[in-house]
A and B are shown apart, each in its own frame.
Chain A
C-alpha cells in the first residue's frame, strides 16, 4: 500500500519536474512546479513529517510560487523560442549522462535493500519540532529571523522607484502629499509643507504632467 503511494507521488513529482524543464511557457513551468511541491508534501506526510508537509504547502506552494506567478504575469513573459543552439554536442552528452544516472539509480534500488525500518515515534509532530527549535536550536532560528529582515529590506530597496513621478502617475486628491521641491524650484528638499490640489486635473497642472487628461481639453 505504501509502495503504491510512493510510486504515485514519486512519479507525479518526476513528471511535473520534467514538465518544468520541458515547457517553454514559463507560466506552465510555474504551475508544474506547484505540482512538484504538492507531491513532495504528500511524500513528507508518508515520511511522518506532517508539520513540514504543511509548511511546505504554505510557504513554497502558497507564497513563493504565488510571487513567481505574479512576476510572470506582471512582466508579461513570452514563450521561449527554439533555436540559437549554443553547443551542438550538448544533447548526446546529456543523453549519455542521463543513462549513467539511471544506471546508478537502478543499481541503488536493486542492491541496497534491507534497511531496518523503525516505526515513527512522534518525531515529526509539531510538539517535538517546536521544542527543539526553541531550546537547543534557538540560535539558527534567531539568525533566520534576521535573514528574513535583511530580505525584506533588500526587496524594498530594489523595488523603490525613487525620483520624479512618471507621466502616467495618478494623484488621488486629498490622499497623496508630494514634497514641495517637486513643484517649487526654490524650495529646499526638506520643506514639508504639502502641495494641495482639489482635483486630479489641478494636481496634474501643478506637477507639470501633461497629457494625463487629454480628453478634457477638447471642446466637444
Chain B
C-alpha cells in the first residue's frame, strides 16, 4: 500500500512539473518574440488576447492543423524517431531540479521536498541526458535526405558535443565547493548567510564559462550558425513540418529552460530568497511557495538574458565557434578547476 501511495505521489509530482514546464516554455516563446520586437524597435505579437497572452495557444492550434509533409526518400523510421528523442531527452532532465525546500503540505503533517526525484548523482544524470539529446539532431539531419539538413545536423551536433565538455568541466568547480552531486543538497548548502551564500560569489569564472557553454549547447545566438535562417535554410529541421517541427521547437526551448534552471540551482542559489527566513518560518507552506516563486523569477531572469543576447549579438562563424570552444573555453575551465581545488586545499575561509 505504501509503495502505491509513493508511486501515486510521484505521478502527481511529474504531472505538475510537466504542466508547469510546458506553460513556462510556451510563454517563453511569446516573451522572446515580444522582447526581440522591443529590442528591434517594433511591437511583437499583441493581437491574440490582451497583449498577446493567448498567442501560444494560437501557435499550438496552427501546428496541430498544419499539413504534415514527409519527404519521399527519407528513412521513415528515423525521420519519425528524431523529434521524439529530442523532446524526450529535453523533458527527462526536469525531475532532478529542486523547486523548493522541505515543505509541509497544508492540512496534513506530511513534509515533502519540492523536487520530483532526489538522485545521488543528479548532476551526472543531467549531463548524461543532455548527451542523449544530441542524437535527435543528428538523426534528424540524416534522415531528411537533404544535404543542407545533413550539414546542419552534423555541424550542430559537433558543436554540441564540443561544448558539452566545457559545460561539464565548468560545473566541477561548483561541485567541488558543494561536495555533493545531489542538486537538492547543493541548494540547501546555499542557504547560509540568510539565503545569500550563493556559489556565484565563489565561482565567478565558472559561472561565465557555464553560461557561454550553455548558450552554445542549446544552439542559441551567437552560436546558432547551424540553424540560422540565412545560412543553411533552417539547418537540421528544414524538412520537418507541423507537429514534428513543433516538437523540435519545443525541445530547443525546453533545453534553454533546463540550462537556465541548472545555472540557477548551482550558481544563483536555487530557491533561496535572501532574508526570507527572517520573516517566515522555514518548512511552512508559505515559505515553500515563495521559494518556488523566487526560483521561477531567477530562471526567468536568465531566460531574459538569453533573449537579450539574441537581439544584440552577431553570430560566430563555424570555425571560430569550434576554435573558441576547444582552445579557449576548455583550458579556462581546467584552470578554474585548478584554482578552486587549490583554494579548497589551502582552507581559504569561505571555501570549506
Contacts and interface: CB of A to CB of B under 8 A. Distances in A.
Touch between chains A and B, by CB atoms below 8 Å: yes
Interface of A: 1, 27-28, 31, 34, 38, 50-51, 53-55, 57-58, 61-63, 66, 69-70, 73-74, 125-126, 172, 175
Contacts of B142: 27, 73
A66 B121 contact: no
A53 B181 CA distance: 14
Given A61-B132, A63-B131, A66-B135, A73 B150 contact: yes
Contact of B125 (A31, A38, A54, A63): A54
A63 to B, nearest CB: 7
A25 to B, nearest CB: 8
A38 B138 CA distance: 18
Given A27-B78, A27-B142, A50-B119, A62 B134 contact: yes
A179 to B, nearest CB: 19
User: Is chain A's interface secondary structure helix, strand, loop, or mixed overall?
Assistant: helix
Interface in B91-142: 119-121, 124-125, 127-132, 134-135, 138-139, 141-142
B154 interface: yes
Given A62-B131, A69-B138, A54 B154 contact: no
14 contacts: A1-B3, A27-B75, A31-B78, A31-B139, A38-B132, A50-B121, A51-B124, A54-B125, A58-B124, A62-B132, A62-B134, A66-B135, A73-B141, A175-B319
A126 B154 CA distance: 34
Contacts of A38: 132
A57 B134 CA distance: 13
B39 interface: no
A177 B75 CA distance: 41
Given A62-B131, A66-B161, A73-B138, 6 more contacts: A31-B78, A38-B132, A50-B121, A58-B124, A126-B120, A126-B181
- What are the 9 closest A-B residue pairs judged by CB atoms, nearest first? A62-B131, A54-B124, A57-B128, A58-B128, A50-B121, A54-B121, A73-B142, A54-B128, A58-B131
Contacts of A28: 77
B316 to A, nearest CB: 13
What range describes how many residues of B lie at the interface?
20 to 34
A58 B161 contact: no
B138 A58 contact: no
Contacts of B134: 62, 66
B157 interface: yes
A70 B138 contact: yes
Contacts of A70: 138, 154, 157-158
Contacts of A125: 120
Contacts, number: 67
A134 B112 CA distance: 36
A116 to B, nearest CB: 25
A70 to B, nearest CB: 7
Contact of A66 (B3, B128, B129, B138): B138
A66 B160 CA distance: 11
Contacts of A73: 138, 141-142, 150, 154
**A61, A66, A74, A175: most-surrounded residue (chain B CB, <10 A):** A66
Contact of A51 (B3, B121, B154, B164): B121
B91 to A, nearest CB: 16
A74 B153 CA distance: 12
Contacts of B161: 63, 66
A125 B26 CA distance: 38
A69 B131 CA distance: 14
A193 to B, nearest CB: 23
A139 B319 CA distance: 38
B160 to A, nearest CB: 9
A53 B119 CA distance: 12
A92 B3 CA distance: 49
A53 B127 CA distance: 12
A69 B132 CA distance: 13
Nearest to A176: B319
Contacts of A1: 3
B131 A61 contact: yes
A172 B320 CA distance: 12
Contacts of B141: 73
Given A57-B128, A58-B127, A58-B128, A69 B135 contact: yes
Contacts of A27: 75, 78, 142
Most buried by B among A1, A54, A70: A54
A27 B78 CA distance: 9
Contacts of B157: 66, 70
A2 B129 CA distance: 24
A53 B141 CA distance: 29
A28 B76 CA distance: 12
A38 B135 CA distance: 13
A184 B81 CA distance: 53
Contacts of A172: 319
A187 to B, nearest CB: 26
B121 A62 contact: no
Nearest to B158: A70
